[in-house]
Amino acid sequence: MQLSLPDTVEQRLNAEIRVSELRILLEHHNRLYYQSDAPEISDSEYDELFRELTALEEQHPELVTPDSPTQRVGGAPVARFRTVTHGMPMLSLENAFNEDEIRTKLDARIKKELGLADSAVISYVCEPKMDGLAVELVYEQGVLTVASTRGDGVTGEDVTQNIRTIRGLPLRLTGEAVPARMEIRGEVFLSLDAFKQINQARDENGEAPFVNPRNAAAGSLRQLDPRITARRPLSIYCYAPGLVEGASFSSQHEFLQTVSRWGIPVNPLTRQVDGVDGAVAYYHEMNGMRESLPYEIDGTVIKVDSFQLQQELGEKSRAPLWAIACKFPPRQAETLLEDILLSVGRTGVITPVAQLKPVEISGVTVSRATLHNWDEMAAKDIRIGDTVIVERAGDVIPAVVRVVPERRNGSERAVAPPLSCPECGSAVVRIAGEVAIRCIGISCPQQIRESIKHFASRGAMDIEGLGDKVVEELLSLGLVRTVADLYRLTKDDFMLFERMGDKLASNLLAAVDASKKCDLGRYIFALGIRHVGERTAKSLAQAYGSLANLEKATVEELTSVRDIGATVAQSIVIFFNNPHNQAVINQLREYGVDPAVVVKTIGGPLSGKNFVFTGTLTRFTRDFARKQVENQGGNVVASVSRKTDYLVAGEEAGSKLLKAGELGISVLGEDEFLNLLELH
């Protein structure tokens, strides 16, 4: 057993420095991942650093700052909109999935935290949990000046112009005692009616429909052209204050009532209740009502009413202790399973898909649902003609949950797994240890179709204009049989299309040509090797530098690359050993598609540079600094000489600093050093 002793001053200082180091590293990797799209470390390495920081912050809560990566929630904003920093971070909520969890994770925990008796009655405010997007609005002197998305919780995107299109939102507050400045948070959403209208219009224009109201709201809010947003009737309900100057509220209940008087839309179903029983009853009541509401809710939110108690309780790991999101179980509907279709993916996996009698599940019409795989279908004994329960949970593809056996009349038909590919007639195999059944025909038209679509798609070669429809047409005209054929196409080929102008044909040709210069990671991803997603492809590109090197790699070597396990490694080796794949790759090479990673100058950007450290460092340790310098090709030496390129000076630097001054050597502070390493 370990005894926990109080921290010594030294331990605390060490923790402080390590926390600072970890934040520098995590922020650096965040930037690489979200903004430059060029990660240097794997997800698991990132997670490890993150866990280390979380653990240290838990041990030393006084070291937690709002800008710590642990305080971030979700992803960073994209570059297209201006960014806005929230006055206070926008937190997320912890989830409860049933009545029990509401009692234990919220009420009992709060009482324990506040030292209250079990019998104490806490006053709560219960609200529907709107399934939309969180935004922050700023009203200055009563006027709406800025609106931003939540983004990563600390900074979001400036969507003021789009928010202004929401009719129900006042551009100027009305009534008495309007505060000098108020930040207020709420959820932007689309009503089910609006969602249907939008999808109908999209359908008429030949555009793909939005999957659900939430996605449609997100797409509308992040429109660069506010005129388009204005045609999408977004709504908003506000539910929480940010920083407020010139007004104060003592409770959530009072806050909502007051802002509502100023014209801010507040959900009328919000209710103040006494004690957790009231909150639980509200949860059940809303769950019962959800299907009849004109918008989607995915649960309720329960908040401690008193702002003073909220403050006492505070927050822990990015979520307040005074509130909880109570999620509803996924929505289900009963319908007839009319047929079982076989869908062949680009890797040849044959998936059973249920064709359903169209059924509406909370405003969304579902006519297809996945049956996952043949094992699962057999285990659930799903047959054609069955009445089935279909589930739509969040953003995921609808799934068949189970059959309703009482509805059987004996005419239902079980479907056996296919013995041959429904598209090309080739044999199918089932690889040991896998549930998938796979077509092994190398010229299976469906596989080819899907693999060409994948090759040209956005995350892969990103050939602009070469969408699914163009691929279909190329295939039906017999112009392409493999991805390599794309690079043989001429303008005349495109002119064979039913509807094709001179300009469009030239553009397509230019886009195909431009893709030859694509990045190696994308190319590896585009090849469609099983188990190799975008991230793995990037790691492979970094590790191997060229396809020629990767082609030669052995399973053993591959498994030493970060992110790559035995299954992935095997799949890569199998892919490159396949003569058909080899032929296609060679052809691609002949056509000039052979991207490579530009090899950095030996040792990196600080190659040959000598660093000396002196004084007390407060933001990182010398060990950390040494590693970073060496990673970039530099050296760390002990004493200052003419050969020294940089002296990094901490606090109370002494003789080395003087000497550097005499020799005219560049002296860097800790921040400048981080800037030099681009770790700022």
Residues lying near ligand IVH in the complex (CB under 6 A) are found at 91-93, 127, 129-130, 134, 187, 239-240, 301, 320, 323, 325
Least distance in angstroms from the C-beta of 106 to ligand IVH: 13
User: How far apart are the C-alpha atoms of 1 and 88, rounded to whole Å?
Assistant: 41
Residues near 643 by beta carbon (within 8 Å), at least 6 away in sequence: 610, 637
Residues near 311 by beta carbon (within 8 Å), at least 6 away in sequence: none
Residue 240 or 466: the one with the smaller Cβ distance to ligand IVH is: 240
Least distance in angstroms from the C-beta of 513 to ligand IVH: 44
Residue 406: strand, helix, or coil: helix
> Is residue 559 within 8 Å of 533, Cβ to Cβ?
no
Measure Cα distances from 181 to 53, 251, 257, 262 in Å. Answer: 35, 19, 18, 13
Least distance in angstroms from the C-beta of 77 to ligand IVH: 15
User: How far apart are the C-alpha atoms of 297 and 457, rounded to whole Å?
Assistant: 34
Nearest to 592 by CA among 518, 482, 541: 518
Least distance in angstroms from the C-beta of 264 to ligand IVH: 13
Nearest to 653 by CA among 636, 640, 634: 640
Residue 131 or 563: the one with the smaller Cβ distance to ligand IVH is: 131
Residue 72: strand, helix, or coil: coil
Least distance in angstroms from the C-beta of 318 to ligand IVH: 10
Please give the order of strands across the beta sheet that includes 666-668. Answer: 635-636, 610-614, 646-649, 666-668
Secondary structure in 3-state letters for 453-495: HHHHCCCCCCCCCCCHHHHHHHHHCCCCCCHHHHHHCCHHHHH
Residue 150 or 453: the one with the smaller Cβ distance to ligand IVH is: 150
Residue 97 or 497: the one with the smaller Cβ distance to ligand IVH is: 97
Residue 233 or 320: the one with the smaller Cβ distance to ligand IVH is: 320
Name the token pair of 620.
């990182």
Q: Tokens 């991207």, residue? A: 595
Residue 252 or 614: the one with the smaller Cβ distance to ligand IVH is: 252
Residue 377: phi and psi, rounded to 5, are -65, -40
Least distance in angstroms from the C-beta of 125 to ligand IVH: 9
Residue 285 or 412: the one with the smaller Cβ distance to ligand IVH is: 285
Nearest to 455 by CA among 281, 593, 607, 618: 593
How many CB atoms within 10 Å of residue 461? 27
Name the token pair of 263.
């014209």
> Is residue 296 within 8 Å of 212, Cβ to Cβ?
yes
> Is residue 143 within 8 Å of 160, Cβ to Cβ?
no
Least distance in angstroms from the C-beta of 303 to ligand IVH: 7
Least distance in angstroms from the C-beta of 499 to ligand IVH: 44
Name the token pair of 467.
């969408």
Measure Cα distances from 334 to 389, 399, 400 in Å. Answer: 5, 12, 10
Residue 20 or 212: the one with the smaller Cβ distance to ligand IVH is: 212
Q: What type of residue is 584? A: V
Least distance in angstroms from the C-beta of 214 to ligand IVH: 10
Name the token pair of 11.
């331990």
Name the token pair of 609.
């540079």
Residue 56 or 134: the one with the smaller Cβ distance to ligand IVH is: 134
How many CB atoms within 10 Å of residue 445? 14
Least distance in angstroms from the C-beta of 96 to ligand IVH: 11
Residue 28 or 303: the one with the smaller Cβ distance to ligand IVH is: 303
Secondary structure in 3-state letters for 277-315: HHHHHHHHHHHHHHHHCCCCEEEEEEEECEHHHHHHHCE
Residue 134 or 173: the one with the smaller Cβ distance to ligand IVH is: 134
User: How far apart are the C-alpha atoms of 604 and 40, rounded to whole Å?
Assistant: 14
Name the token pair of 461.
């070669």
Q: What type of residue is 272? A: Q
As beta bridge partners, residue 186 has: 135, 238
Residue 20 or 70: the one with the smaller Cβ distance to ligand IVH is: 70
Least distance in angstroms from the C-beta of 297 to ligand IVH: 8
Residue 449: phi and psi, rounded to 5, are -55, -50
Question: Pick the catalytic residue: 129, 327, 453, 538?
Answer: 129
User: How far apart are the C-alpha atoms of 320 and 106, rounded to whole Å?
Assistant: 10
Residue 181: phi and psi, rounded to 5, are -150, 135
Residue 325 or 555: the one with the smaller Cβ distance to ligand IVH is: 325
Least distance in angstroms from the C-beta of 392 to ligand IVH: 19
Residue nearest to ligand IVH (CB): 134
How many CB atoms within 10 Å of residue 422? 15
Q: At what angle do helices 579-590 and 566-577 cross, to 10 degrees?
A: 70
Residue 201: phi and psi, rounded to 5, are -65, -40
Least distance in angstroms from the C-beta of 73 to ligand IVH: 8
> Is residue 463 within 8 Å of 511, Cβ to Cβ?
yes
Catalytic annotation present for 129: yes
How many CB atoms within 10 Å of residue 162? 26
Report how far Cα 249 is from the mean position of its chain's Cα atoms: 35
The set of catalytic residues is 129
